[in-house]
Amino acid sequence: MSQLVANYTPREIVSELDRYIVGQNRAKRAVAIALRNRWRRQQVSDELREEIVPKNIIMIGPTGVGKTEIARRLSRLAQAPFIKVEASKFTEVGYVGRDVESMIRDLAEVAVQMLRAEQVERVQVRAKEHAEERLVDLLAKKHRDGSADDREQHQIVGPFFVSPQGEVSGQRADEDEVNAIRAKLRSGQLDQENIELDVAEGATPLVSVFGGHGLEEMEIQLKDMLSNLPGFKNKKKRRKLKVKDARRMLEEEEAQKLVDMDQVTRDAITRTEQSGIVFLDEIDKVVGRPGAHTGPDVSREGVQRDLLPIVEGSTVNTKYGTVKTDHILFIAAGAFHVAKVSDLVPELQGRFPIRVELDSLGKDDFIRILTEPKNALTRQYQALMSTEGITLQFTERAIDEIAGYAASANNRAENIGARRLHTVMEALLEELSFGASERSDAIVTIDADDVRKTLEPIVNDEDLAKYIL
Ligand SMILES: Nc1ncnc2c1ncn2[C@@H]1O[C@H](COP(=O)(O)OP(=O)(O)OP(=O)(O)O)[C@@H](O)[C@H]1O
Ligand SMILES: [Mg+2]
């Protein structure tokens, strides 16, 4: 089996995260270590490996400082099945809503997709060959008869095509002909030609009606039942396609045939168990107020209790088989404004031994966030404006001012962290965005004065500031 876990060192992980997230070094280090420990565990002898359980993490920090962002970026690095779920979306077993076990089912689903994609990658070359042969045959048939009939179902016997009823339905193109067509096909000369093809129809959307109502088990069974009904599974539809599109479809179809789905599901279960990561966002939202023993708080505590066995290690049924959760890594995050970590049910606190606090962000961080990350906001706006033929520039002083306004807006109103930059930038560039399509100047430079002129009136008018910034 391929390697279960990516083997980035903690330093490499942190430096990768650094490209997108400013500061928050402790949180980055914690997740980097956790990720590396998955790899370390794989290297340990069998018996000890079973004993080593993941050290789950809680990230604590105000809103908009990068908790979710860290998780998102980590998932790209992890090369492991990863899902992010909102703890607040779950309801206690027995109530209407998603039960907590569904996250493990989703994780297994992610793993299956992942492994399937890997398998498809591996059979790519053979799939391409098979697809080409089918295309050549279709084209040869078409060139001979002037049309392509449903030869797809016909078998090739010697030089003949034989229908499912056993009748000879045509003669196969001779070798020279086939070779000529193959050569043309390879050179791309036939790309624009039309051929007819039987295409499998997409999955039936019927079942999604049940989604999110705690009826997932039923949904799973229904889906399986339906896909086993004749006529539901291999439903095909004849379509006319350009050769180059047909080639893509055929490659996909051939790859599908070559992938051993049993192997994929078996491996997916192992990978989910050995390297799966669940990011539990908004964990503080399932904390009941201390002393409240009625109403929604009871149910929230119920969610925590349902979470316990999963975090601690239990077995969850999925449509791919049972998944043991003992070694799945959980990273929880929450603002913990009102509730504290100590308000979580004690058993759950114990399952998350690593706590990291994220720092709230100030003006200096904002300056860096505006300019440094690969996906920095200023770069996003520049890219958007360049589509209108405008080169957008910000002077250093302008960035300084923008960061300053964002920081002071956070001080005066609610502190929404780096999210404030979005509202400030939007307010600042509103006029440019609106008029950009009609402008004739090629370069627009935003300097400190522009920033002040636009933002000062908004900041000074308290009502205006409240809903714009
Ligand atoms: N330290 C940071 N560096 C770069 N960008 C950041 C940072 N913190 C936040 N951002 C940006 O701010 C936005 C919100 O961040 P994120 O979603 O991570 O917040 P959060 O900490 O999960 O908040 P919440 O508690 O509300 O969920 C994102 O667009 C993110 O790119
Ligand atoms: Mg978040």
Whether 105 has a pLDDT exceeding 90, the answer reads: yes
- The answer to whether the CB of 65 is under 6 A from ligand 1 is yes
- The answer to whether the CB of 278 is under 6 A from ligand 1 is no
Contacts of residues 121-129 at CB distance under 8 Å and 24 or more positions apart, as own/partner, are 123/255, 123/258, 123/259, 124/251, 124/255, 126/254, 126/258, 127/251, 127/252, 127/254, 127/255, 127/258, 128/251, 128/254
What's the residue count for the chain?
469
- Residue-wise pLDDT tens digits, 146-175: 544 455 556 666 667 677 777 776 666 677
Nearest CA to ligand 1 atom 25: 63
Q: What pLDDT is attached to residue 398?
A: 93
- The answer to whether the CB of 335 is under 6 A from ligand 1 is yes
Nearest CA to ligand 1 atom 19: 64
Q: Which residue has the higher pLDDT, 90 or 108?
A: 108
90-94, 227-231, 374-378, 451-455: least confident range:
227-231
| Alpha carbon distance 311, 53 (integer Å) | 10
- Residue-wise pLDDT tens digits, 28-86: 999 999 989 888 988 999 889 888 888 899 999 988 999 989 988 888 888 889 999 98
CA of 406 to the centre of ligand 1 (A): 14
| Alpha carbon distance 367, 422 (integer Å) | 13
Q: What pLDDT is attached to residue 153?
A: 59
Mean pLDDT, range 230-243, rounded to an integer: 71
- The answer to whether the CB of 25 is under 6 A from ligand 1 is no
CA of 175 to the centre of ligand 2 (A): 62
| 206 CB-contact burial (10 Å; exposed 0-12 / middle 13-18 / buried 19+) | exposed
Nearest CA to ligand 1 atom 6: 66
* pLDDT bucket at 239, cuts 50 / 70 / 90: confident
Q: What pLDDT is attached to residue 436?
A: 86
CA of 59 to the centre of ligand 1 (A): 13
CA of 373 to the centre of ligand 1 (A): 12
Nearest CA to ligand 1 atom 24: 63
Q: What pLDDT is attached to residue 205?
A: 42
- Residue-wise pLDDT tens digits, 258-280: 888 899 999 999 999 988 999 99
- Residue-wise pLDDT tens digits, 367-414: 999 999 999 999 999 999 999 999 999 999 999 999 999 999 898 888
How much of the chain is helix, strand and coil, in % rounded to 5? 55, 15, 30
Mean pLDDT, range 237-264, rounded to an integer: 86
Q: What pLDDT is attached to residue 155?
A: 66
CB contact set of 117 (below 8 Å; sequence gap of 6+): none
Mean pLDDT, range 427-433, rounded to an integer: 91
- The answer to whether the CB of 433 is under 6 A from ligand 1 is no
Q: What pLDDT is attached to residue 372?
A: 93
- Residue-wise pLDDT tens digits, 168-209: 766 666 777 788 888 888 888 888 888 888 777 654 444 444
- The answer to whether the CB of 151 is under 6 A from ligand 1 is no
Q: What pLDDT is attached to residue 216?
A: 55
Instruction: Give pTM, 2 decimals.
Output: 0.76
Q: Which residue has the higher pLDDT, 345 or 167?
A: 345
Pocket-testing residue among 14, 28, 65, ligand 1, by greatest number of atoms within 8 A of Cβ = 65
Q: Which residue has 């920090």 as its token pair?
A: 61
- The answer to whether the CB of 21 is under 6 A from ligand 1 is yes
| Alpha carbon distance 338, 10 (integer Å) | 33
Q: Which ligand is nearest to the CA of 284?
A: 1
* pLDDT bucket at 466, cuts 50 / 70 / 90: confident
Whether 173 and 182 have beta carbons less than 8 Å apart is answered as: no
CB contact set of 143 (below 8 Å; sequence gap of 6+): 173, 177, 181
CB contact set of 466 (below 8 Å; sequence gap of 6+): 413
CA of 229 to the centre of ligand 2 (A): 42
Whether 242 has a pLDDT exceeding 70, the answer reads: yes
- Residue-wise pLDDT tens digits, 124-143: 899 998 888 888 888 887 77
Q: What pLDDT is attached to residue 387?
A: 92
CA of 68 to the centre of ligand 1 (A): 6
Whether 185 and 136 have beta carbons less than 8 Å apart is answered as: yes
Percent of the chain with pLDDT over 90: 38
- The answer to whether the CB of 369 is under 6 A from ligand 1 is yes
- The answer to whether the CB of 334 is under 6 A from ligand 1 is no
Q: What pLDDT is attached to residue 206?
A: 41
CA of 317 to the centre of ligand 2 (A): 29
Q: How far apart are the first and last CA of the chain?
A: 52
* pLDDT bucket at 113, cuts 50 / 70 / 90: very high
Mean pLDDT for all residues in the chain: 83
